[in-house]
Amino acid sequence: MTADDLSSTAAQQEVVLVIGASSGIGRASAIEFATRGASLVLVSRSATTLADAAADCRTAGASAVECVPADVLDPDAVQAAVDRATSTFGRLDVVVHTATVMAYGRIEDVQPDVFERVVDTAIQGTFHVFRSALPVLRAQRRGHVVVVSSLLASITAPTMGAYVTAKWGQLGLIRTLQQELRDLPDVHVSAVAPGGTTTPIYEQAATVLGNTGHPPPPVYTPERVARAVVARIDDPRRLKQSGVANPIIIAGFRLFPPVFDVLVGPLLKTFGMARDSVAPTTGNVFAPVPEKEATRGSYFGF
């Protein structure tokens, strides 16, 4: 297919840039957009797994798929991904940003470089995505950005300080941008905040606890969260909680902090930690682990 053919196809279909597309919610979102016949540009650090995700998207019905291996902490690489979308398809309708990494450990035990990388991936990475995509959307005066946030952007939990800090900071950046775009009513920025989701992130996380984590119940599938992501195109929201228990947990955190603080640690240990035994590891914080990337993790979700 030539560049002219791709541009002609894109004129009839959504052009969607998915960042973090090789695994988990990002991969599920790419496949969900593919079922709508979208033209896709897929981005992640892992070129091999990205190619697998692209194959899934073609099977699901994508009009066209381009792959751009890139790390969100490299602003030039992020810009190149946006440029690939606009040069190949002529425009950019939707940006879905899901790239994130996670670490388990008490604040004084997590290595500084691991903490910084987890936080930087969420905050600086999101900043780089915004900086590259927004000039295109401003020029078009239309388009959507959907960022996958987390329940942990609204509450805190012991041994998850790096990820909590990352997601609180990311949500602050998102909310600020939403205010700054009030002059462009057809440019929308939405955040989707899942609770426990059966993705590989728990098995890929850095940990100094001697064990890995797993999604706390109720556990949802990445495909279910992906449907919430895609729904934001027709129904933009400042922050959409994707999980029936999320509002209840957030209410407990805000309204009854002494009770929440007593319960959160034991509940996390019981329902959010695996019973395995692993040596301290940096997981995929600094580099991808392709053999652990997939749409779903090893836990059941619905």
Give the confidence band of 98 by pLDDT, cuts at 50, 70, 90. Answer: very high
CATH number where 213 lies: 3.40.50.720
Give a yes or no: residue 298 inside a domain.
no
Give the confidence band of 12 by pLDDT, cuts at 50, 70, 90. Answer: low
Could you give the CA distance from residue 274 to residue 203 in angstroms, rounded to a whole number?
A: 9
- pLDDT, tens digit, 9 for 90 and up, residues 194-227: 999 999 999 999 999 999 999 999 999 999 999 9
Give a yes or no: residue 297 inside a domain.
no
Question: In terms of residue numbers, what domain contains 58?
Answer: 3-292
Counting the structural domains of the chain, the total is 1
pTM: 0.94
Give a yes or no: residue 146 inside a domain.
yes
Give a yes or no: residue 34 inside a domain.
yes
Crossing angle for the helix pair 257-271 and 246-255, nearest 10 degrees?
A: 140
> Does residue 163 have an active-site annotation?
yes
Give a yes or no: residue 299 inside a domain.
no
Instruction: Please state the separation of Cα 201 from the chain's center in Å.
Output: 11
Q: Which is catalytic among the residues 163, 202, 220, 299?
A: 163
